[in-house]
Each structure stands twice: as C-alpha cells, then as structure tokens.
C-alpha cells in the first residue's frame, strides 16, 4: 500500500510549499461541500493532499466547517494518514505561546456539529480510548524536533464550540479538568478520521494563554494571528519532513487505526439503509463491500 499524507491546515496555514505537480482539485462528497478544494501533489516521492480547514481566506467558522465532507474528501482521494495543524490556547504555565504540541487526548465539549458518518440505518461504534495514532504522532514529534522548535510530546485538548473565546470561569474550570490546551476544531475531526479508518494526529501551535493567566491579557484575534504568523514557516518545515519519515510504502498501522471498523458495525445487513450505505462508500467501503 502507498502512503498518502493528508494535511488539514488550521488558522494561519492555508497552503504548503514545494509540491511537485501541484493542483487544486474539487472533490464531491455525499456529505456536502468540503471547506475548499484540495491541493494535491507529491513531496519527496510521497503523495500528499492539503485541505485548508477554514477555506482559503478563512471563510468557515469552527461550527460551520463541514467536518464530514472534509474527512470524506481526503479518504476519497486516497489519504492514509492525516496530520491536522491547529491553533490552540494554553491551559498550562509551561506550554507557552510559540510552542508546538503533539495532541494525544481530547475532551469534547462541542455540541453543534455532526459527529459521525453513521446513524439510523447503519449504527457503528468505533474504539476511541486513544484518539490519535501513536505512530503518526511520533513522526510529527520527530519532524518538529528536526525543525528545532520547542515541542511537547503529549497534551489533552479541550474542544469547545466557540466561536467566542472562553470566559474566565470556563478557562479555570478546564484547567481543573486536566486539559492542557484548548481549541475549537479538534472535534469531531478526530472522531471522523477514526471512523474513516485513517491514522490521525494533531500538531497544535500555542498562540496564547486563553484568559486564565494573571500575567497575560485575555486572548484576542490579533494575538493569535501574530503568533501564527511567526510559526507558520515552522509548521510548513515540519510538514515537509513527514514524507521522509513516513516513507512511500505503508505497512498496516500497528495500532489498528486502519481497521477501526472491523467489529464496529452493529446493524444487521438485512436492516441497513441503502441510502446511508451509498453515502458510506468511501469511509466504510472496506467493510461494507
């Protein structure tokens, strides 16, 4: 099997450089329109696809992003691995603006988004105790270290709905709950990637201290943009190192991300909704035949 790396760019990252044969392609999905066209090409002999999560020009809010269409589009193009780049606020004293973080856990407090490809007519429950792929996360960590940025190898990401930033009371509560960083787009993206049987990791870039820190002003958009501007070059350099670390030939995921649906579907074959099955052709075609 051949590796194809899908990169989902967050705030401040709207393209990747150096792709051979690069072109923007429009992908139709049964879940509606993705956030934008997808930039496809090859980097160091490895196929890559880049999708700006908010669209070029940042036209989608965290709640209006069509996460199902985005993940379906990348799966439909043949992506095997997804590296998501996100801007986050820090809930820890030692995770400071400018740092990179490899997310390995989530607390999902979003509520206004479609969170599954499955539902009435085809019910499925995937394992999600470990929501990111350790193999892919290790590659992202190594890439960040090679770039020379300060990077933390673990973090619990609090996914809030937004688009407003936290209140002071909320920020303090999230710290008490054990979250390390906070953002608005980590969920349901990671859940959908697991349902689509793709390895997923999140490279988060700390832009601020949310609003809990007594020594720093409350977060605002200008602060986020300024920090992202300084870090976007490092993010692109990190991504450029991934093909060399992952390689063109891909073995089965040792953690089973690419087999997440093996025992997940509950609905009896005779009771499955043909209309929903048709929509699942890309994300679940391996098990649905």
CATH code: domain of residue 271: 3.40.50.1580
What's the domain range around 153? 87-288
Residue 198 included in any domain: yes
Domain count along the chain: 1
Q: How far is the C-alpha of 17 from the C-alpha of 2, rounded, in Å?
A: 22
Residue 1 included in any domain: no
Active-site position among 108, 208, 220, 262: 208
Output the pTM of the full model: 0.95
In the residue annotation, 72 being an active-site residue is answered as no
Residue 63 included in any domain: no
Cα–Cα distance list, 17 to 43, 83, 199, 241 (Å): 9, 16, 23, 12
In the residue annotation, 210 being an active-site residue is answered as yes
Q: How far is the C-alpha of 97 from the C-alpha of 113, rounded, in Å?
A: 28
Residue 49 included in any domain: no
Active-site position among 210, 220, 237, 258: 210
Q: For position 159, what pLDDT does the model report?
A: 98
- Nearest 5°: CA angle at 79, between 74 and 83? 85
Q: For residue range 133-166, what is the model confidence (pLDDT) as tens digits?
A: 999 999 999 999 999 999 999 999 999 999 999 9
Percent of the chain with pLDDT over 90: 85
Which two three-digit tokens encode residue 31? 């879940």
Pairing outcome for strands 151-152 and 20-25? unpaired
Pairing outcome for strands 181-183 and 156-160? parallel
Q: What is the mean pLDDT of the chain?
A: 94
């Amino acid at each position: 099997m051949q590796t194809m790396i899908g990169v989902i760019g967050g705030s401040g990252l709207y393209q990747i450089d150096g792709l051979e044969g690069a072109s923007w392609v429009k992908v139709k999905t049964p879940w509606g329109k993705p956030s934008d066209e997808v930039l496809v090409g090859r980097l160091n002999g490895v196929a890559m696809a880049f999708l700006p999560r908010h669209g070029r020009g940042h036209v989608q809010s965290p709640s209006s992003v069509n996460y199902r269409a985005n993940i379906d589009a990348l799966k439909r193009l043949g992506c095997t691995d997804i590296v998501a780049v996100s801007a986050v606020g820090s809930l820890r004293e030692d995770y400071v603006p400018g740092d990179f973080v490899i997310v390995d856990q989530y607390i999902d407090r979003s509520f206004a988004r479609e969170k599954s490809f499955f539902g009435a007519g085809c019910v499925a429950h995937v394992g999600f105790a470990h929501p990111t792929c350790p193999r892919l996360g290790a590659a992202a960590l190594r890439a960040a270290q090679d770039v020379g940025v300060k990077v933390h190898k673990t973090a619990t990401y609090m996914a809030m709905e937004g688009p407003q930033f936290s209140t002071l009371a909320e920020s303090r509560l999230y710290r008490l709950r054990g979250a390390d960083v906070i953002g608005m787009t980590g969920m349901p993206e990671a859940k959908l990637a697991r349902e689509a049987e793709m390895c997923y990791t999140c490279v988060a870039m700390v832009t601020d201290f949310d609003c809990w820190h007594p020594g720093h002003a409350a977060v605002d958009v200008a602060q986020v943009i300024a920090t992202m501007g300084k870090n976007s070059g490092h993010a692109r350099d990190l991504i450029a190192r991934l093909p060399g670390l992952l390689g063109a030939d891909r073995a089965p995921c040792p953690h089973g991300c690419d087999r997440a649906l093996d025992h997940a579907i509950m609905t009896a074959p005779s009771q499955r909704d043909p209309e929903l099955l048709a929509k699942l052709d890309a994300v679940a075609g391996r098990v649905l035949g």
